[in-house]
Copies of this chain bind each other. A is one copy, B any other.
Amino acid sequence: MNRAAFALVAVSLVAGIIAVRRSASGQTDGAAAPIYGVKIPAGYRDWTLISVARIGPPFNDMRAKLGNAVASRAFREGTIPFPDGTIIARLAWNQVASEENNKAFSTILQQRLKPDELQKLLSESFVAGPATNVQFMVKDSTRYAASGGWGFAQFTDGKPDGEAVHEGCFPCHALAKDRDLIFTHYSH
């Protein structure tokens, strides 16, 4: 093993120790959301992308589902029910038009599309704007036995939303009972 390799292994070792310390709670120090007591999981923003989706008006958002290691393995292997330890994050952003993207589309597509076709493409092309809120589903079949094994949470600007919001999570996700309450499919 050369020096660079040894250094990388050493860094991995330190990262491992940090991972151990984090895994003691697996959650950040912020406030817990009501009903299920879920906190924002540490490091969720770097989790694996499960899939993307969008919801029409009046929401007009674009969304991404991320999964921790347990979640992404289960999604890829089609494991139903999801194992305890699964955490899924749903991020969402208001869709906004991008002037700079549309300029580029106009430049490169004006030879390939008719003016009305180009206009239609531009009017229906969007990027992610401001974040709306972040949701989590945490699988713990013992702790959350009364809600199909899942705990639910929604945070806006890093703060948990109220109890009324959280009361709506389980009844809706229960509609996906054949897939352990998860609507999202993994996108290859």
Contact = CB atoms under 8 A, between A and B. Distances in A.
Interface residues of A, number: 64
Interface string A94-112: 0100101101110110000
Contact of A48 (B45, B105, B113): B45
A29 interface: no
A78 interface: no
A15 interface: yes
A121 interface: yes
Interface stretch (A30-38, A122-130, A135-143): A122-130
Highest count of chain B CB atoms <10 Å: which of A108, A113, A117, A124: A124
A164 B146 CA distance: 57
Given A72-B46, A100-B183, A54 B175 contact: no
A42 interface: no
24 contacts: A5-B20, A9-B13, A9-B17, A9-B20, A12-B12, A12-B13, A12-B19, A16-B16, A49-B64, A52-B62, A52-B63, A53-B62, A53-B127, A54-B62, A54-B126, A56-B123, A56-B125, A57-B117, A57-B124, A58-B113, A93-B187, A101-B183, A103-B175, A108-B171
